[in-house]
Chains A and B, each alone.
Chain A
Amino acid sequence: MMNVMRLFGGRAASAPVARERLQILLAHERGQGGGGGSDLLELLRGEILAVVSKHVEIDPDKVVVRMDRGKFVSMLEVDIEVPNGVQRSKMVAAT
């Protein structure tokens, strides 16, 4: 039926897209107990940065954190620029 609609100039229904997007989003948000911000990815991000900054001083401006929450798996990408050699600077380590 959808294809017939499309053939006759009707656009693909957008409601299924809305449903799918909401399901993914709410699955993640419900896990946080109403948005307390304590989900696993947040924890991982914080601890990864803490471990790295224990050994090298990292410039918080040079840390890029990207997230892509998916239905079955989510991607957490932590990009940390580590300076060559030991740098003593006034930079504050991010946690």
Chain B
Amino acid sequence: MAKVLVVTSGKGGVGKTTSTAALGAALAQLGQNVVVIDFDVGLRNLDLVMGAERRVVFDLINVVQGVAKLPQALIRDKRLENLWLLPASQTRDKDALTEEGVRRVISDLRTKFDWILCDSPAGIERGATLAMRYADEAIIVTNPEVSSVRDSDRIIGMLDSKTVRAERGERVEKHLLVTRYDAGRAARGEMLSIDDILEILATPLLGIVPESQDVLRASNVGCPVTLNNAGSAPARAYIDAVRRLMGESIEMTVPVERKGLMDRLLRRRAA
């Protein structure tokens, strides 16, 4: 049965789009049929992070308005044949996205895919509420930083009240994904620790993605980090997270960089 997952955070710049691309690719790498949807109308970027920006013809709003059929707007990933992208529109008219339109698109996608990942825009406006509206589960992306944790708390409140599931008295299962984590700084007390964040947000932890230059490198070349460098620390964190989503129980660790001799000698000058 298809699962609709919203990747959300409230705060911008914490890694929603990067995480959507990485989680979507990781699920597809494990053989699942996956579609990732960009809900950031007017400021789409999931296409760019996934390296599909040159191939966008139609978008979510075209499908909602009936200008294009769903199969025409879906872009198949060039590396993984079971990974698809539904891009956002670059139009400035945010009202073009309607609740009924989104409902139709998602119920259509439910018949075709195992996983539907909705990449939410930042904020708590229309785009963000529509991205979470039909979700079965939510991934809340949080940085170990006060403003991010506060905004995550706000979003958790919205997931419990503004989703269709919540209105029906059902639960949206929530997962916390901590990104840009620096274990050293947390140990030195310079950064909120995982325990601090979990205590404040009281939401089960899905994974800890360490701060890593592999993430920037992956977005530079337009390839999800789990595909670009599957052995890297962030990729392993995303792959573990996805295995947990699929029901496996995997010990929670903070993956560390496996540094080669040359890397250490050169202190990784090339970014």
- Measured CB to CB, the residues of A under 8 A from B are 5, 8-15, 17-18, 21, 24-25, 29, 32, 34-37, 45, 60-61, 63-70
Closest chain B residue, CB of each to CB of A64: B72
Contact-residue size bin, chain B (C-beta under 8 Å from the other chain): 20 to 34
- Rounded to whole Å, the gap between the CB of A4 and the closest CB of chain B is 10
Residues of A within 8 A of B71 (CB): 61
- Rounded to whole Å, the gap between the CB of B121 and the closest CB of chain A is 15
Q: If A25-B54, A66-B55, A67-B54 touch, does A17 touch B220 (CB 8 Å cutoff)?
A: yes
Which one of B57, B262, B265 lies within 8 Å of A66 (CB-CB)? B57
Q: Is A14 a contact partner of B271 (Cβ separation < 8 A)?
A: yes
- Measured CB to CB, the residues of B under 8 A from A are 42, 48, 51, 53-58, 69, 71-72, 89-92, 216-217, 219-222, 260-263, 265-266, 268-271
- Rounded to whole Å, the gap between the CB of A35 and the closest CB of chain B is 3
Q: Is B220 a contact partner of A5 (Cβ separation < 8 A)?
A: no
Q: If A14-B221, A29-B90, A35-B90 touch, does A8 touch B54 (CB 8 Å cutoff)?
A: no
Report the separation of the CA atoms of residues A70 and B42 in the bound assembly, to the nearest whole angstrom: 22
Report the separation of the CA atoms of residues A61 and B221 in the bound assembly, to the nearest whole angstrom: 33
Q: Can you list 20 contacts pairing A with B, beta carbon distance less than 8 Å?
A: A9-B262, A9-B263, A9-B266, A10-B268, A10-B269, A10-B270, A13-B270, A17-B221, A17-B222, A21-B48, A21-B53, A21-B222, A29-B90, A37-B89, A61-B69, A63-B72, A66-B55, A66-B57, A67-B55, A68-B54
Report the separation of the CA atoms of residues A36 and B92 in the bound assembly, to the nearest whole angstrom: 8
Report the separation of the CA atoms of residues A68 and B71 in the bound assembly, to the nearest whole angstrom: 17
Q: Is B58 a contact partner of A65 (Cβ separation < 8 A)?
A: yes
Residues of B within 8 A of A34 (CB): 92
Report the separation of the CA atoms of residues A5 and B265 in the bound assembly, to the nearest whole angstrom: 12
Residues of B within 8 A of A21 (CB): 48, 51, 53, 222
Q: Is A8 a contact partner of B266 (Cβ separation < 8 A)?
A: yes
Q: If A35-B42, A37-B90 touch, does A5 touch B270 (CB 8 Å cutoff)?
A: yes
Report the separation of the CA atoms of residues A64 and B57 in the bound assembly, to the nearest whole angstrom: 10
